[in-house]
Amino acid sequence: MASRDERKESRQRMKEIYSVAKKYNVSELISESRKPKDPAQGEFDEELDASGLRKALEELGPAYVKLGQLLCTRPDLVGNDIAEELTKLRDNTPVTPFEEIKEVIETQLGQSLDEVYSEFEEEPLGSASIGQVYKAVLKENGEKVAVKVQKPGSYELVA
């Protein structure tokens, strides 16, 4: 059974989700189910702003981006236009600002970046829904490394 704090946190998250959905004109997804006209063709009764849905999922965070990545493989469930738009979540995931990533790394290491790395590129080599990868050089031996960092809040949103 959920505690009072957990229920309160759940209600707050639901309000946030609804607020973001409303912002991108996709709030009807929360209150109504979309029924297919012809599932074989991926056609649906009501039109939904596919771009708005993608933007809402991006804003809601890593768990929702993952959901969008999954849904893009199912045009039979979401329709062809939405599936096509959601494929952008595979290639164009938002980059978390370096200052936030730096804080995550330093917290995990218990040291500043300067203490561990002689070089650390602030632009990621890649960005995915729950993490980013950076190029760096270890201070102790000059070895070039790739540093994979989980985006802030990813664990809490997915767990």
Query: 138-154: b or e for each residue (b if 16 or more CB lie within 10 Å)?
Result: eeeeeeeeebebbbbeb
Take residue 92 and report the two structure tokens written for it.
Answer: 């164009």
Is there a contact between 89 and 65 (Cβ–Cβ < 8 Å)? yes
Please give the pLDDT value at position 159.
47
Is there a contact between 121 and 135 (Cβ–Cβ < 8 Å)? yes
Q: Measuring CA to CA, which residue among 150, 154, 136 is closest to residue 101?
A: 150
Please give the pLDDT value at position 132.
92
CA angle 122, 111, 131 (to 5 degrees): 45
Is pLDDT of 1 > 80? no
Q: pLDDT tens digits for 104-153? A: 999 999 999 999 999 999 999 988 878 899 999 999 999 999 999 998 87
Of the given ranges (41-50, 62-71, 116-125, 144-153), which has the lowest mean pLDDT? 41-50
Take residue 111 and report the two structure tokens written for it.
Answer: 């040291």
Please give the pLDDT value at position 45.
45
- How far apart CA 61 and CA 54 sit, in angstroms, is 11
Q: Measuring CA to CA, which residue among 59, 113, 68 is closest to residue 89?
A: 68
Please give the pLDDT value at position 152.
82
Residue that the structure tokens 């990868």 belong to: 133
Please give the pLDDT value at position 90.
84
Please give the pLDDT value at position 94.
77
Please give the pLDDT value at position 29.
72
Is pLDDT of 38 > 70? no
Q: What is the mean pLDDT of the chain?
A: 85
Is the pTM higher than 0.85? The answer reads no
Is pLDDT of 89 > 60? yes
